[in-house]
Structure 1
């Protein structure tokens, strides 16, 4: 699994580094994203600190798990990392590992991943939310969700498949077919996953600023009776992995 990533913070959050975090453990063949929940800003808390600490703890837990046990259990790793995260805030999280011919993954909240094969989306992790725009989240507050609330997946993959993981800044602004079309172009042009991730993130950011775009977020808002138009400005994280 060959991976690359791109992170574009919300234009107003560049100075603080935004609220997303991600990782690529190349040797262990594990990737992941986390999205600090922006609502904490009303309490004077930068949830990006929580997301980054969670990711740091995930990387340590992954390396320890793989090196000592020789196997990877996404839920156990998430439990260990969450128990050691002491910062205030909360975050969604998605972890994806390649084991033999399958992806072992856990997703909690509205980050997630898709698998593309021959230009078609063959898998998309479902969104977990309590209500519209209120995702499941791990956090320091007693009202937050637990790692066990995350959905665990096993997805069989083949050489040539492409995995695209991202925070909601990606999936709120681009439909999966849009992402798949970019991946097809990237494969034809023999682009590295890093460049593919940059292309996808750039289009997501472009559509986030498009007030006339019927984005996935605006479509979902309309379904629940909210009048929302255009894309959704947000931090955007994209991690692309080619299955070799």
Structure 2
């Protein structure tokens, strides 16, 4: 009987017609909910990142003598985090070389391809994050293996003829990105609106998908074509709309294995409260630095026993003892001051050592030639590209002691 049941015997759940007046009411409600986004959208203006980074080797790994192989990138149109494989030290390789070279090369390409209102030749045109990373890998020479997370801000996208900036997120491995937004108006709390997921082999916290270049000492079967295939086929790519005031958190697995998303959101709301003004006001860079440092500090605290008890984490009690790197960025308007400064940097080809120093310059963060790659800084352990804070180099109280700006 059951087998012979016909389609006529199955009760059909109909789709009901929505009347004109009801649809108008729904559209009015949508308009009220999205009004502050629509206002930003109608301004038809390019955007950029205002970002700070912070990274720190876990104290337990320092005691064991492990090298920090993380690298971060903060530049106006491209953010990045790479988490190098420290195990390569066992083969007398420096695991930090490939992550740093990859991000440095990505930064140079982004300066050529993504800067608003700057002429770009057809061969240098931006073709998406996969092409950018592939080109950076092919231009690099360092050996190593690393996870990769990039966020590229593309100001060329348009909807109905109006500028509508988009962020392309590329992930290989277990670094993650979290986007926050004040969805209920400028004076509301930040809420999570987008989050990437980790790529791990067999769900093992120690075996993320990764981008590598190694020799026969490590893998006799390695060929660079495999690495290019990882970029082309293994990259997780997402595109999301960008609005002024959005907050992005990019972190290594040391962040997202130890902190729940709501803990990160709570930190951001505690430090990055609403401005109290009707018009959007960018956050001071010092507050972005404070968020980054707090996230790293709280991540490390999760793996320390409290009164003999370990705290809950996304991967279980006690979390993961790991180097931790984070980039905290706010999306702000790309202004004439930005344009003048970066045009000069681009002409002089100084972008391979550029940072956002956080010093007010013509009303915006001043982007200047960075001295952070001096021998002294390398001895101090600074690995952050484009404005990252070293694990002990800066604190909230020494914000005024940062290098002076000098475009040269």
TM-score by length of 1: 0.86
1:105 aligned counterpart, secondary structure: strand
Decide whether aligned partners of structure 1 residues 84 and 181 sit closer, same or farther in structure 2, where only a CA change above 3 A counts: same
User: Shift of residue 82 of structure 1?
Assistant: 1.1
User: What corresponds to 2:338 in structure 1?
Assistant: none
Tell me the number of residue pairs that the alignment of Structure 1 and Structure 2 aligns. 232
> Does structure 1 residue 91 correspond to structure 2 residue 91?
no
User: Shift of residue 16 of structure 1?
Assistant: 6.9
User: Shift of residue 170 of structure 1?
Assistant: 0.8
User: Shift of residue 72 of structure 1?
Assistant: 5.9
Q: Hey, what's the Cα distance between the residues in 1 that align with 2:315 and 2:141?
A: 31
- Equivalent residue for 2:71, pick from 7, 21, 27: 21
1:202 aligned counterpart, secondary structure: helix
> Does structure 1 residue 158 correspond to structure 2 residue 208?
no
**Conserved 8 A contact 1:62-1:72:** no
User: What corresponds to 1:75 in structure 2?
Assistant: 130
Q: Which runs of 5+ in 1 are unaligned?
A: 219-228
**Conserved 8 A contact 1:66-1:72:** no
User: Shift of residue 54 of structure 1?
Assistant: 1.6
Q: Hey, what's the Cα distance between the residues in 1 that align with 2:58 and 2:101?
A: 20
**Conserved 8 A contact 2:80-2:149:** yes
Name the structure with the higher strand share: 1
**Conserved 8 A contact 1:4-1:240:** yes
1:82 aligned counterpart, secondary structure: helix
Greater CA drift, 124-133 or 37-46? 37-46
User: What corresponds to 1:5 in structure 2?
Assistant: 53
Q: Hey, what's the Cα distance between the residues in 2 that align with 1:23 and 1:209?
A: 28
- Equivalent residue for 1:147, pick from 212, 225, 231: 231
Q: Hey, what's the Cα distance between the residues in 1 that align with 2:170 and 2:91?
A: 29
Looking at both structures, which has the greater relative contact order when contacts are Cα pairs under 8 Å and sequence separation is at least 6? Answer: 1
User: Shift of residue 88 of structure 1?
Assistant: 2.1
> Does structure 1 residue 204 correspond to structure 2 residue 299?
yes
**Conserved 8 A contact 2:247-2:331:** yes
User: What corresponds to 1:114 in structure 2?
Assistant: 178
Q: Hey, what's the Cα distance between the residues in 2 that align with 1:7 and 1:81?
A: 23
Q: Which runs of 5+ in 2 are unaligned?
A: 1-48, 156-164, 183-189, 215-221, 275-282, 333-408
In the TM superposition, 1:44-55 aligns within 5 A as 44-55=92-103
Q: Hey, what's the Cα distance between the residues in 1 that align with 2:114 and 2:242?
A: 21
User: What corresponds to 1:231 in structure 2?
Assistant: 319
- Equivalent residue for 2:166, pick from 92, 98, 102: 102
**Conserved 8 A contact 2:179-2:249:** yes
RMSD (Å) for aligned C-alpha atoms: 2.3
